[in-house]
Structure 1
Amino acid sequence: MADLHLVVDRAAGGLAGQIAREVREAVRSGRLVPGTRLPATRDLARDLGLSRGVVVEAYEQLVAEGVLDSRTGAGTRVAAGAGRQAVEQSPADREGRPHYGHRPTSPDLGLFPRQAWLAAVRHVLATLPNDALDYGDPGGVPALRRELAAYLGRVRAADASPDDVVVVTGVAQGLSLVVQTLVRDRGRGIVLAVEDPTSARQIPLLRRAGADIVPVPVDREGIVVEALPGDADAVVVTPAHQYPTGVVLSPARRAALIGWAARTGALVLEDDYDAEFRFDRDPVGCLQGLAPDRVVLAGSVSKALAPGLRLGWIAAPPRVARAVRLARGELDLGSPVLDQYALAHFIDAGAYDRHLRRMRREYRRRRDALAGALAEHLPWITVHGISAGLHLYAETGGGRDVDGLVRAARAAGLSAEAVTPAHGPRGLVIGFARLPAHRVTEAVRALAGDVRR
């Protein structure tokens, strides 16, 4: 068993992060080689004079990164692939600078809870009856719909029964299917209001589904309800954490939006974007819980776990849920049942909640580091939307070249995109979820240097 020599500064705070950094550096330097067994969390905590929970958090972080491997009965060891080259290796651009992902909204896939997910899959394979592997309900297996209805009610204050929940591949498919059902019901293309600015990636999918897109401005309180077109059949909103500005829909606007939907008969399509990652308080309750007969709530595990799982859901009024379930059956017969059962068990066992708690702590550290570095090295950038989510929204002012700033940010290894709203000034989105806290200052200094040149 290795005798760890860790330097921890209690006055500096972030004790778990300090322990993780020290162990990571020991592996990087070769002082801890693959297969080396680390002290038990209780023993290390006693040696350092810290609580065991701090050490557990540090170990969990390193296990998630793949630096350590923890198995029942075998203790915690340096992972087989975590030698000097593996720990130092990171994606890089052509100039050799580390690169931390192309989409500012992407989660850190290196922190996917592989062991917990594997345990869920193993449980499912060991306990599922043979008939469960047949074609399932195209709306989702009952076990997952029950877990999602309970979870959304508990965490998001939603008002939905399992019959109101339809499992889809993600928010994009969920919204597209709702639009398709509205088009079929009305016998024509629909008028769909969207926030401005918004995610450009969803627009082609919604247009293909039959929507005529109308942008509606967003201000400091969220979507401007008074600007909604009177003939809109539906509106797509991100009230928990507007993309890209990060604004939370104010209580007054929430009430106004629900009132507008009741008067016009339109549907509100609520993209529950970034709702899991609130840093300053508990997550804001969803709109669907206030008006379940007028709001369709769409969510997924793409930000919480990984986009590649392709697991999402909608919670909709019964008539909409039935129509979407029918459309899903006509489209592709539903999602893979093994993955659905695995997610159901993952939620039921508490692993989903534990993972989200851990990721909130980590993403908050990265957010704080990025916001602080930008304030120090690029003080003319005004940062918004940092109370939640995986990205921040930056305004430059002074007519600066946003496209040039995005190119410089990417060259520095940051994940950045330009935002060009129909109403208001341009800005840019910078993601921090894949940016390790200890790499932030280096990346922002490189960006500042490029901008000065």
Structure 2
Amino acid sequence: MDLPIVLDRASGVPLAVQVADGLRDAAAGRALRPGDRLPSTRALATTLGLSRTVTAAAYDQLLAEGWVEGRVGAGTYVTAVPAGIRPTTARRPVARTEVPRAGGGIEYSLRPGRPCIAALDRAMWRRAWRAAAEPEPDDAPRPDGLPEFHTAVVEHLLRHRGLAPADVLTTAGTSAAVAELARLLPAGATVAVEEPGYRRAVSALRAAGLRIVAVPVDDDGLVVEAIPAGCAAVYTTPAHQFPTAVRMAATRRVALLERAREEDLLVIEDDYDGELRYDVAPLPLLAALAPEHVVHLGTASKIVSPTLGVGWAVAPPSLLAAWRDLRSRTGTRPSPAGQRVFAALAAGGDLSRHLRRLRRELRERRDLVLAAAGRAGWCAHGDPAGAHLVLRPRVAGEPVPERAVLAAARERGVDVDGLAEHHDGDPRISGLVVGYAAGSRADLRAALALLTRG
């Protein structure tokens, strides 16, 4: 079958998206009709001069949208052509100019923490929201969370994080969960946190009247031997440390959990983007190694969207009981709407397909950052995971002060993060914390060109 698919390899639009758009266009123009058999992913890849990974991703997207279906042993077939369809490429906004607006101002943001909405299939998104609207409205609060959400989270953790929890509590995200946990710790207790570390978590702990002690982070993660005696809890981001982007070494994990057992420490494991790893399978979760001493926190914000406003906690039974009691006394409860959408995404397999697309997209975006840093002679730091890494600018082989690079970037219209603002005290290490998930690829390329310009 000769399909009229035209690819623009110089475009910032991913090739898989272009292939999917081309197939939609062919259906809209009646070159494809319901019942037609599509070429195999391998055959189409050969015809277009692409890798099979690209064509498989395009078919995954069309399968998720319901345009095509796979028949075991028979191939992939067109099932329907929705009326009034328009190619998604036409709806994609034109990339913004690389030149800052006259009079200054920020044109691009490379700050970390925002998800990759560009990888989110809109048909999948709308389908999940429609499914979430089907149940009748609740007439009573559900402080514990919805059973269907718990089922989806248990399956998600087992499949993507290797954790088989006996019980799950719904949260409004990791930051909100830390704030709730802080109220369950003894008044005035000491909590060890990573330095540099996640400032929102530190603020939530401090706002509850807890004493904060900063513990340094190096290339192997949290320096466990630097945790002082007498702490009630330790807050850590072991899978992809925020903001240094390193992974806690296996020996450090063992040492931390040994101290937790010996000193009855509570370890708060913030796994905010643990599903996003691109080289090998991640190390086992702390919660899987010592469930009696670890609270595992996850969120849908980084893998789907903060629009859902949901996350999850896995914790020792006694702590979960105290947490539920706190909610019954305070009326705190997460919104059910986002839980229903997440459950709908998981139920039809859309969530797993989305995660595959997301990992491919973020891996390729990370490569763009590394390439830009290499051309500029800058050093890059961080594991192949998540949606941010650390760049250390250099000129003629010599390091450039973080503050000077940040100021120059802002003058060019690029907002980027520095490690200094993630310290509780005087900065100990420096570098740029570059997020690469938000916006389009064209935006990312433009921002990187301005950031690394000599």
Task: Give the structure 1 partner of residue 238 of structure 2.
Answer: 239
* Contact kept in structure 1, 2:416 and 2:433, CA below 8 Å: yes
* Contact kept in structure 2, 1:191 and 1:213, CA below 8 Å: yes
What is the distance in 2 between the residues matched to 1:263 and 1:19?
51
Residue 331 to residue 100, structure 1, CA distance change in 2 (3 Å): farther
* 1:279-326: CA deviation from partner (whole Å, max 9, x where unpaired): 111233210000001000011011001112110111110111112222
* Contact kept in structure 2, 1:261 and 1:268, CA below 8 Å: yes
* 1:7-45: CA deviation from partner (whole Å, max 9, x where unpaired): 679xxxx9x944646998x9xxxxx9xx76786893693
Is residue 155 from structure 1 mapped to residue 151 from structure 2 by the alignment?
no
After the TM superposition, which of the residue ranges 385-394 and 435-444 deviates more from structure 2?
435-444
What is the distance in 2 between the residues matched to 1:428 and 1:90?
23
Residue 69 to residue 76, structure 1, CA distance change in 2 (3 Å): farther
Task: Give the structure 1 partner of residue 71 of structure 2.
Answer: none
1:215-234 correspondence runs (5 A) = 215-234=214-233
* Contact kept in structure 2, 1:91 and 1:100, CA below 8 Å: no
Report how many aligned residue pairs link the two structures.
423
Task: Give the structure 2 partner of residue 417 of structure 1.
Answer: 417
Task: Give the structure 1 partner of residue 75 of structure 2.
Answer: none
* Contact kept in structure 2, 1:234 and 1:269, CA below 8 Å: yes
Task: Give the structure 2 partner of residue 176 of structure 1.
Answer: 179
Task: Give the structure 2 partner of residue 29 of structure 1.
Answer: none
After the TM superposition, which of the residue ranges 205-214 and 74-83 deviates more from structure 2?
74-83
What is the distance in 2 between the residues matched to 1:412 and 1:277?
31
What is the distance in 1 between the residues matched to 2:346 and 2:332?
24
SS at match of 2:124: helix
Task: Give the structure 2 partner of residue 120 of structure 1.
Answer: 128
Structure 1 spans left out of the alignment, 5+ residues: 27-31
Task: Give the structure 2 partner of residue 395 of structure 1.
Answer: 392
| 1:413 Cα deviation from its structure 2 partner | 5.5
What is the distance in 2 between the residues matched to 1:156 and 1:144?
17
Task: Give the structure 2 partner of residue 57 of structure 1.
Answer: 57
What is the distance in 1 between the residues matched to 2:176 and 2:18?
40
Residue 236 to residue 137, structure 1, CA distance change in 2 (3 Å): same
Q: Which one of 109, 114, 121 corresponds to residue 117 of structure 2?
A: 109
What is the distance in 1 between the residues matched to 2:226 and 2:149?
38
What is the distance in 2 between the residues matched to 1:204 and 1:143?
32
SS at match of 2:416: strand
> Quick one: higher RCO (CA 8 Å, sep 6+), 1 or 2?
2
Structure 2 spans left out of the alignment, 5+ residues: 69-78
* 1:384-426: CA deviation from partner (whole Å, max 9, x where unpaired): 1141010111234646231231233345555520112446322
Is residue 252 from structure 1 mapped to residue 258 from structure 2 by the alignment?
no
SS at match of 2:212: strand
| 1:75 Cα deviation from its structure 2 partner | 5.7
* Aligned amino acid, residue 151 of structure 2: R
| 1:371 Cα deviation from its structure 2 partner | 0.5
* Aligned amino acid, residue 250 of structure 1: A
What is the distance in 1 between the residues matched to 2:182 and 2:162?
25
Task: Give the structure 1 partner of residue 430 of structure 2.
Answer: 426
Task: Give the structure 2 partner of residue 361 of structure 1.
Answer: 360
Identical columns (%): 32
What is the distance in 2 between the residues matched to 1:57 and 1:263?
48
What is the distance in 2 between the residues matched to 1:111 and 1:50?
20
Relative to total residues, which structure has the larger helix share, 1 or 2?
A: 1
Task: Give the structure 2 partner of residue 74 of structure 1.
Answer: 81
What is the distance in 2 between the residues matched to 1:87 and 1:59?
23
**TM-score in terms of structure 1 length:** 0.81
Residue 359 to residue 98, structure 1, CA distance change in 2 (3 Å): farther
| 1:191 Cα deviation from its structure 2 partner | 0.8
* Contact kept in structure 2, 1:415 and 1:430, CA below 8 Å: no
